[in-house]
Amino acid sequence: MAAQKNDDESSRKGLGEGSRRVDAAIREQQRLLARVIRRLGTATVEDVHQGRVTARRLRSMLKTFGALLEPRRAQLYRMDLRRLAHALTLAREADVRHKLLVDVGRSGGLAADDLERLDALLDDQRVDARESLRRHLREPSWGALMKALERHVSRSGAVVVRNATLGDVLELAIAAWKRPVRLLERHPTSVTELHDLRLALKHCRYALEPLADVAPEPAARLARALRAAQDSIGEHRDCLLADHWVRSNERTLGRSLVERLTEELAGRERKLRRKARRKSAALLPAWKAWRRATGPVRRAGSKGRS
């Protein structure tokens, strides 16, 4: 362990400010991911959620800051992280669906026996998803994935461009906004547009984290706007997925219960879509303010290279 720490410290010596920040951000997510993985055998709802979020965050950073990394290694690493996140998807979706639909049932005034039947079915599926995850953890393919992730961590620093300035990294973070800005300028309203926007915004949010102390006030406003937009679009998507699940389980739930639930979900979906549109509309002004505020740092980085 001490030898590994010395190697890590040695690999960070001489890094430019931008390279150092990216290296530190990647190492921190690797540390968090390793801690979550150790607990997956007895994973709580929060463990599964954090595992997926950390895998996505690390995967996103490898993409956004890919210009500073060894391309083939980063690509393989991202593929392994995607496999990890996918393995946790069923358990996470079952947790979210249970909470959402029980809440919908209660707020919709379902009869006690209907609510109990719904809760039991959803809870059974949560248990099944957890058992499926535990079986997967015992499979050879999972062991191979864990060894692959360990190899990624044990190698010397992921950053191979060692002289990147803070301005260079800011430019990479701004480049991540190209697609989201295009989507936002079209004022997204459809399910597909909102879903595409949510996926694109993840890269922007994770790219901002290593740079939060650069123009801190505009960065904090942008981070809040990003979180609010992502969360509201995510809630809207969860509602749609829950509606699909209810309709797919009509034989078990019964037509009457399905009709009650889908009616409640339809009303909730309309409210959530309006909220998602409103929260998304606040993003462009916050983004433009942050871009202006970081301009001097980016220009200084360009002069330093000339």
- Report the pLDDT value the prediction gives residue 1, as an integer from 0 to 100: 42
Residue matched to tokens 């209660």: 106
Residue 182's CB is within 10 A of a number of other CB atoms, namely 11
- Report the pLDDT value the prediction gives residue 157, as an integer from 0 to 100: 65
Residue 208 has pLDDT above 90, yes or no: yes
| Apex 225 CA angle, 221 and 228, nearest 5 | 140
Task: Express each pLDDT in 161-202 by its tens digit.
Answer: 989 999 999 999 999 999 999 999 999 989 999 999 999 999
Span 165-306 CATH architecture: Alpha solenoid (1.40)
Residue 8 has pLDDT above 90, yes or no: no
Average pLDDT, stretch 145-162?
83
- Report the pLDDT value the prediction gives residue 150, as an integer from 0 to 100: 87
Residues 139-163 as b/e (b if ≥16 CB within 10 A, e otherwise) read eeebeebbebbeebeeeebbbebbe
Percent of the residues in the chain that have a pLDDT greater than 70, as a whole number: 93
Residues near 150 by Cβ (< 8 Å), separated by ≥ 6? none
Average pLDDT, stretch 152-156?
76
Q: Which of 100-109, 130-139, 150-159 has the lowest mean pLDDT?
A: 150-159
Residue 22 has pLDDT above 90, yes or no: yes
pTM: 0.86
Instruction: Please tell me the distance from the alpha carbon of residue 242 to that of residue 253, in angstroms, as a whole number.
Output: 14
Task: Express each pLDDT in 35-70 by its tens digit.
Answer: 888 888 787 888 888 889 999 999 999 999 999 999
Span 1-163 CATH architecture: Alpha solenoid (1.40)
Going by pLDDT thresholds of 50, 70 and 90, the confidence category of residue 227 is very high
Average pLDDT, stretch 6-24?
75
Helices 191-208 and 216-248: crossing angle in degrees, nearest 10, is 140
Average pLDDT, stretch 130-149?
90
- Report the pLDDT value the prediction gives residue 9, as an integer from 0 to 100: 54
**Among 212, 306, 224, 187, which residue's Cα sits nearest to residue 24?**
212
Residue 3 has pLDDT above 60, yes or no: no
Average pLDDT, the chain: 90
Same fold, 1-163 and 165-306: yes
Residue matched to tokens 């942050």: 290
String of DSSP letters for 90-105: HHHHHHHHHHHHHHHH
Going by pLDDT thresholds of 50, 70 and 90, the confidence category of residue 11 is low
Which range is most confident: 7-11, 90-94, 158-162?
90-94
Instruction: Please tell me the distance from the alpha carbon of residue 69 to that of residue 168, in angstroms, as a whole number.
Output: 13
> What are the boundaries of each domain within the chain?
1-163, 165-306
Average pLDDT, stretch 99-123?
93
Judged on CB neighbours under 10 Å (0-12, 13-18, 19+), 136 is: middle
Helix (H) or strand (E) holding 235: helix 216-248
Instruction: Please tell me the distance from the alpha carbon of residue 116 to that of residue 213, in angstroms, as a whole number.
Output: 49
- Report the pLDDT value the prediction gives residue 269, as an integer from 0 to 100: 96
Which range is most confident: 6-10, 111-115, 185-189, 224-228?
224-228
